[in-house]
């Protein structure tokens, strides 16, 4: 249920990190782009082919040492439906290589529409009696601004199909506090209120390692709030952006974990995709550089949290 498969992957690889696949065309080496443009022209189709080739090389290089990938939907939509096709193919490829796939879409809407999003990204679509996975991810990021109606359809699919969601609680960006840090009438902040809602939504979706299928996004750039929410939302698994390019370090991210080194997965996107820049390598060596950076990041985090283990609560 929920994040059990992800947790098992984290324990197996001893690596609580997820590689963000946010492939802007400028990150893709010239040789890949030239080959794709030669085949498809300087078109969205050509760009999408380049993104997919880039992603596949990263996945091949990371899949035995990193348990999960997180493609960010925006960077695929930017290249049109052709880019969205590359998102679909990236998800399928990563799952085939044994990785847990978190589609970062931050979707949100009223209940009937959320059923459609849940079906699209985590479920299966009925086409005249045939059931087809439209995108087929393992988890989806969502925004809880609309309240329970917008979460319930996701909860049903999480229970039925062994999937998870991450609800935005305290985001990593500089202006996240404008709304999220405001205190509401019951004396708690907006982000804490959202964390309480995650605990409530997850109560009937508990996995076997103490965490529910309703996770939360809490940024490494706010380490105090990360520690606060770890204590206040003990059954909520965290997806933690902000490590690396956004400025958060392992000492900040440490606050996301419980005493077993569980409870969170730390994202790195540009830090892994563009690692060659910091390693004195060429862009053509991006995949081996990504692997080296993923190993460095694992050491960095494990150094602060120690060995990761599970205590089953059967």
Q: Which window, 57-65, 81-89, 260-268, 285-293, contacts a copy of itself (CB under 8 A)?
A: 81-89
Contact 279/289 with Cβ under 8 angstroms?
A: yes
Contact 260, 310 (CB under 8 A): yes
Beta carbon nearer to a copy of itself, 11 or 114: 114
Q: Which is nearer to a copy of itself, 13 or 172 (CB)?
A: 172
Q: Is 183 a residue of the active site?
A: no
Q: Which of 1, 35, 97, 111 binds a copy of itself (CB under 8 A)?
A: 111
Question: What is the rounded end-to-end Cα distance, in angstroms, of the chain?
Answer: 13
Measured from the CB atom, the residue of 197 and 265 that comes closer to a copy of itself is 197
Q: Is 119 in the site for a copy of itself (CB under 8 A)?
A: yes
Query: Which residues inside 5-64 make contact with a copy of itself, applying CB under 8 A?
Result: 22, 24-25, 33, 37, 42-44, 46-47
In 206-313, at which residue ranges do the beta strands (DSSP E only) sit?
A: 214-218, 238-240, 264-268
Give the contacts of 309 (CB within 8 A, at least 6 positions apart).
11, 260, 261, 262
Site for a copy of itself in 163-192 (CB under 8 A): 168, 171-180, 182-186, 190
Which stretches does DSSP call E strand in 83-145? 100-107, 125-127, 130-132, 139-142
Choose the catalytic residue: 24, 85, 106, 152: 106
Query: Of 229-248, which residues contact a copy of itself (CB under 8 A)?
Result: 241, 246
Nearer to a copy of itself, 28 or 158 (CB): 28
DSSP state of 148: G
Minimum distance of a copy of itself from residue 187's CB (angstroms): 10
DSSP 17-28: EEEEE---GGGS
Q: How far is CA 52 from CA 32, 36, 55, 159, 217, in A?
A: 10, 10, 5, 31, 26
Residue 193's SS3 state is: helix
In the complex with a copy of itself, which residue's Cβ is closer, 162 or 181?
Answer: 181
Q: List binders of a copy of itself among 131-160 (CB under 8 A).
A: 132, 134-135, 143-150
Q: Which residues, numbered 245-274, are part of the site for a copy of itself (CB under 8 A)?
A: 246
**Catalytic site positions:** 106
């Amino acid at each position: 249920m929920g994040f059990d498969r992800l947790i098992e992957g984290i324990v197996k690889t001893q690596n609580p990190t997820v590689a963000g696949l946010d492939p802007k065309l400028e990150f893709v080496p010239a040789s890949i782009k030239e080959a794709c443009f030669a085949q498809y022209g300087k078109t969205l189709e050509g760009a999408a082919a380049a993104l997919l080739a880039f992603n596949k090389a990263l996945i091949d290089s990371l899949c035995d040492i990193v348990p999960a990938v997180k493609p960010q939907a925006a960077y695929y939509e930017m290249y049109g439906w052709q880019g969205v096709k590359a998102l679909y193919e990236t998800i399928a490829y990563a799952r085939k290589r044994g990785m847990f796939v978190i589609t970062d879409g931050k979707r949100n809407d009223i209940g009937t529409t959320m059923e459609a999003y849940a079906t699209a990204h985590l479920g299966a679509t009925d086409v005249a009696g045939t059931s087809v996975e439209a995108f087929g991810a393992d988890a989806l990021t969502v925004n809880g601004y609309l309240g329970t109606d917008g979460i319930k359809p996701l909860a049903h699919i999480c229970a039925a199909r062994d999937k998870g969601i991450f609800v935005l609680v305290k985001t990593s960006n500089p202006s996240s506090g404008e709304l999220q840090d405001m205190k509401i009438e019951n004396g708690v902040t907006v982000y804490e209120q959202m964390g309480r809602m995650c605990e409530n939504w997850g109560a009937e979706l508990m996995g076997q390692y103490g965490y529910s299928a309703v996770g939360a996004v809490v940024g490494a750039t706010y380490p105090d709030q990360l520690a606060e929410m770890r204590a206040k939302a003990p059954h909520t698994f965290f997806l933690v952006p902000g490590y690396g390019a956004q400025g958060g370090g392992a000492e900040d991210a440490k606050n996301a974990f419980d005493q077993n080194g569980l409870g969170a997965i730390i994202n790195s996107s540009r830090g892994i995709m563009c690692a060659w820049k910091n390693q004195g390598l060429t862009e053509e060596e991006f995949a081996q550089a990504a692997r080296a950076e993923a190993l460095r990041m694992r050491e960095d985090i494990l150094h602060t949290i120690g060995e990761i283990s599970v205590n089953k609560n059967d």
